[in-house]
Chain A
Amino acid sequence: MSAAVAAMVALGFGVIVVRRRSVATALVAVQGLVLGVTALALAGGEGGALALAGAILIVRAAAIPLLLVIARRRTPERALVAPTTSVATRLLLGTAVVLVAVAATPPLGLGERVAEHGALALLCLGITTVAVRRPALLQVLGILVAENGVYLLAIAVPGGVPAVVELGVLFDLVLVVTVAGAFAGKIHERVGSGDTDLLRGLRD
């Protein structure tokens, strides 16, 4: 468990840091893979739980990244969208947010303290990613990192979260990513770039 959590948090940091959208998408796909494999390992030999974990693995590690790859192909950038903050600033900000989140989390009663900390850390990393990255697609990846954090906590629950809830959440996630992909395409068509910093017209 500890190794999986460490890998996921490291991948989450990667999404904040890397320059290219394709690399960030691959990082989130690997994160989904680590998560799915961990869920399969935790499901034990039970048939229903295995099938569910398998389905979730396919959606998180393959289907959603595929949607994002399609969205990226449809929105080619002429040049890299230059980040407004330096790598060091983003790393420092991410580290600070994660440390605060981990320190502020009370025992949640899971028994697996490392999963509790990892979930909160990923949620905060996801929110930070949305806040500091400008390209629309990277903001969607931030949402996915946060969602992966929530799912990490869900698979660590002894006995698991109800299957109907997991499937519902998965359906909603695919729906939101599809809509977000359509948005990214439309923003690109309208603005000529996926840079959300160019969308700053609404101010009071």
Chain B
Amino acid sequence: MTEALLIAQPAVPVATAALVLLAPSGRAADRINLLGAVLTAAVATALVAIALAAAPGVAAAGSWLTLDVAAGVFLALAAAVGLASAIISPAYLRHAGRSWFGERRSHVYYYAAFNLFWAALLALPLAANLALAWLLIEATTAASALLVTFSGKRSALEAGWKYLVLTTLGLGVALLGIVVLYVAAGEHGPASLGWEALAGSAAGMPGQATLFAFVLVVTGLAAKIGWAPVHNWLPDAHSEAPPPISALLSAALLPTVLLVSWRTELALAPALGTTAIRELFLGFGLVSLAVAVPFLWRPLPWKRLLAYSSLEHMGVLALGIGFGTPLAIAGVVVHLVGHAIAKSLGFYTAIPLLRQDPGAARRAARGVARFSPSTAGAMAVSLVALAPVPPSPLFASELLVLLGGIEAGLLAVVAPAAVLLALGFLGLAHALIEGLLGGRGRRGTGPSPRSARAVALLSAVAAAALVALTVAACVLPGSELVQGLTGGAA
């Protein structure tokens, strides 16, 4: 049963992609996509339930696919964001107008690429093998680069091209690392690159070559995760992609690729010791925070602001993994989920915002509360959670990560991180106030687009989920879920 579900997980969206190509009209494509998305999410729900019920153990493990606690958490993330993006996509497409693919068939090609991208994203957390994970990540690049450029605008082409070239080069570096690792593992057959097999043979691997391979793999993947200083594509791709795709990129793609580097780290820890691993992850974390925070202070267009906030939050996750204590890992889990909810809501809000104020695509949004209370409300929920203002779960998670750092005795890292997070908080709080009330934005409520109602509903759901997550954050440290993620140490 579980095996069948594991295979169905990527198969259902791939089948949806094929079916959607046969759709006679845009509307029919909307319906087929929605049906496929609900089915995909149902399969994911079953798998997540199976994975979490077995915590802290592993529900199912094969040579290619695994269903452990980490797979459950990240699968839930990719499935939930994907479903929400599928639901909101028609609202975007209705007014998208001309695209790369021409107007008539644009829905069809959008959904086909969307489902292929989603299929790879859903399979990625389930990959039990580093080589398979690499292949899936490369597959996400091809599909998502087309989606980033969907609008066909010059700026979107620039963003898509940058994304395609930089992440492909990064993955080339990671692939070299994988080959070196395969040699270091000293065994033959694809199974030797499985997480379990790597962990088993790590103690006997040559230290220098393994460290070299690890640095290549993590640095290569960093280009895809968007860690500074190899993040150049991130703000452009997030701001130029259609909002439902930006949500998938930021809330699902970056974390699931991060999971691959996390799993590599856990598998190779016996060969490398904690110091080298820590230095690499903490380095990426601090540099990402330091690069992102100054941009949070600038009056950026809404989606670019959210993109730099993604860079900041990926930095927090890198710090959490680098600290590696159970407290920090609990923080990482809360942070992942909270960031996914708040960030995807933020990107969806761009749909009504850009309809009501098209100029907001090129300059910072101002005085939104004066012309659209519902859009302003959604922006507020998103930014309050991302800043993060208590009771945001991200406030709790950042606290947990920093406490985890203190627990690990790394005050020299915790102190600058805390300062940078505080500065980021002030920047986003400032952006929120200016965005809602600032400037001389036009007054009165114009015609409210249908997407505004959908986003208002989503923001109510998101707010409830965020509060529930804050409550969960209080009981998560020491739970079986965290034990499952740290290999039993909690």
Residues of A at the B interface (CB closer than 8 Å) are 105-110, 119-120, 123, 126-127, 130, 136, 139-140, 142-143, 146-147, 149-150, 153-154, 157, 159, 161-162, 164-165, 168-169, 172, 175-176, 178-180, 182-183, 186-187, 190-191, 196, 199-202, 204
> Once the chains bind, are A143 and B157 in contact (CB under 8 Å)?
no
Q: Does B440 contact A (CB under 8 A)?
A: no
- A106: which of B165, B179, B208 is its contact (CB, 8 Å)? B208
Name 7 interchain pairs, CB-CB below 8 A, sorted by A.
A106-B208, A153-B180, A162-B188, A172-B142, A178-B142, A190-B154, A204-B295
Contact A199:B182 (CB < 8 A) given known A150-B176, A179-B142: no
Q: Which 5 A-B pairs have the closest CB atoms?
A: A199-B158, A162-B190, A172-B138, A168-B135, A106-B208
Residues in B whose Cβ lies below 8 Å from that of A180: 164-165
- B155: which of A142, A154, A201 is its contact (CB, 8 Å)? A201
- B165: which of A130, A157, A186 is its contact (CB, 8 Å)? A130
Residues in A whose Cβ lies below 8 Å from that of B158: 199-202
Which of B131, B157, B208 is the most central at the interface, judged by chain A CB atoms within 10 Å of its CB?
B157
Interface contacts (Cβ under 8 Å), in number, total 129
Task: Give Cα distance in the complex from A183 to B141, angstroms.
Answer: 13
> Once the chains bind, are A186 and B157 in contact (CB under 8 Å)?
yes
- A183: which of B139, B160, B173, B295 is its contact (CB, 8 Å)? B160
Contact A165:B131 (CB < 8 A) given known A107-B209, A196-B161: yes
Q: Does B372 contact A (CB under 8 A)?
A: no
Residues in A whose Cβ lies below 8 Å from that of B209: 106-109
> Once the chains bind, are A201 and B154 in contact (CB under 8 Å)?
yes
Residues in B whose Cβ lies below 8 Å from that of A147: 172, 175
Residues in A whose Cβ lies below 8 Å from that of B142: 172, 175-176, 178-179
Closest to B212 in A: A106
Residues B125-155 near A (CB distance < 8 A): 131-132, 135, 138-139, 141-142, 145-146, 149, 152, 154-155
Closest to A162 in B: B190
Number of B interface residues, CB 8 Å? Answer: 49
Closest to A124 in B: B173
> Once the chains bind, are A179 and B145 in contact (CB under 8 Å)?
yes
Q: Does B442 contact A (CB under 8 A)?
A: no
- Interface readout for B191-222 with A: 1 if CB under 8 Å, 0 if not? 00100000000000010110011000000000
Residues of B at the A interface (CB closer than 8 Å) are 100, 131-132, 135, 138-139, 141-142, 145-146, 149, 152, 154-155, 157-161, 164-165, 168-169, 172-173, 175-176, 179-180, 182-184, 188-190, 193, 206, 208-209, 212-213, 235-236, 239-240, 295, 298, 300, 304
Contact A162:B183 (CB < 8 A) given known A172-B139, A176-B164, A204-B235: no
Residues in A whose Cβ lies below 8 Å from that of B152: 186, 190
- Distance between B301 CB and nearest chain A CB, rounded to angstroms: 10
- Distance between B95 CB and nearest chain A CB, rounded to angstroms: 21
- B157: which of A105, A172, A190 is its contact (CB, 8 Å)? A190
A176-B168, A199-B158, A204-B298 provided; 18 other pairs, C-beta below 8 A? A107-B208, A108-B184, A108-B209, A120-B176, A126-B169, A143-B169, A146-B172, A147-B172, A149-B176, A165-B131, A165-B193, A172-B138, A183-B149, A186-B149, A186-B152, A190-B157, A201-B158, A204-B300
Task: Give Cα distance in the complex from A54 to B154, angstroms.
Answer: 41
Task: Give Cα distance in the complex from A143 to B164, angstroms.
Answer: 10
Residues in B whose Cβ lies below 8 Å from that of A130: 165, 169
Residues in A whose Cβ lies below 8 Å from that of B154: 190-191, 199, 201
Contact A150:B208 (CB < 8 A) given known A162-B131, A190-B154: no
Residues in A whose Cβ lies below 8 Å from that of B169: 126-127, 130, 142-143, 146
> Once the chains bind, are B189 and A186 in contact (CB under 8 Å)?
no
Residues in B whose Cβ lies below 8 Å from that of A175: 138-139, 142
Task: Give Cα distance in the complex from A109 to B139, angstroms.
Answer: 30
Residues in B whose Cβ lies below 8 Å from that of A150: 172, 175-176, 179
- Distance between B177 CB and nearest chain A CB, rounded to angstroms: 9
- A157: which of B141, B179, B193 is its contact (CB, 8 Å)? B179
Task: Give Cα distance in the complex from A37 to B145, angstroms.
Answer: 33
Task: Give Cα distance in the complex from A172 to B164, angstroms.
Answer: 13
- Distance between A175 CB and nearest chain B CB, rounded to angstroms: 5
Contact A162:B179 (CB < 8 A) given known A175-B139, A201-B155: no
Residues in B whose Cβ lies below 8 Å from that of A191: 154, 157
Contact A202:B149 (CB < 8 A) given known A109-B184, A123-B173, A154-B179: no
Task: Give Cα distance in the complex from A50 to B105, angstroms.
Answer: 44
Task: Give Cα distance in the complex from A202 to B163, angstroms.
Answer: 13
Task: Give Cα distance in the complex from A157 to B192, angstroms.
Answer: 14
> Once the chains bind, are B157 and A199 in contact (CB under 8 Å)?
yes
> Once the chains bind, are A109 and B168 in contact (CB under 8 Å)?
no
> Once the chains bind, are A204 and B304 in contact (CB under 8 Å)?
yes
Which of B135, B154, B180, B190 is the most central at the interface, judged by chain A CB atoms within 10 Å of its CB?
B180
- B135: which of A107, A169, A183 is its contact (CB, 8 Å)? A169
Residues in B whose Cβ lies below 8 Å from that of A178: 142
Residues in A whose Cβ lies below 8 Å from that of B168: 143, 176
Closest to A184 in B: B161
Contact A123:B172 (CB < 8 A) given known A162-B131, A172-B139, A202-B155: yes
> Once the chains bind, are B145 and A183 in contact (CB under 8 Å)?
yes
Which of B145, B161, B179 is the most central at the interface, judged by chain A CB atoms within 10 Å of its CB?
B179
Closest to B161 in A: A183
Residues in A whose Cβ lies below 8 Å from that of B188: 159, 162
Closest to A110 in B: B183
Residues in A whose Cβ lies below 8 Å from that of B141: 176
Task: Give Cα distance in the complex from A165 to B138, angstroms.
Answer: 13
- Distance between A101 CB and nearest chain B CB, rounded to angstroms: 11
> Once the chains bind, are B100 and A172 in contact (CB under 8 Å)?
no
Residues in A whose Cβ lies below 8 Å from that of B213: 108
Residues in A whose Cβ lies below 8 Å from that of B236: 202
Task: Give Cα distance in the complex from A50 to B351, angstroms.
Answer: 54
Task: Give Cα distance in the complex from A187 to B175, angstroms.
Answer: 28
Task: Give Cα distance in the complex from A150 to B157, angstroms.
Answer: 28
- A187: which of B161, B184, B189, B298 is its contact (CB, 8 Å)? B161
Residues in B whose Cβ lies below 8 Å from that of A157: 179, 182-183
> Once the chains bind, are A153 and B149 in contact (CB under 8 Å)?
no
- Distance between B355 CB and nearest chain A CB, rounded to angstroms: 22
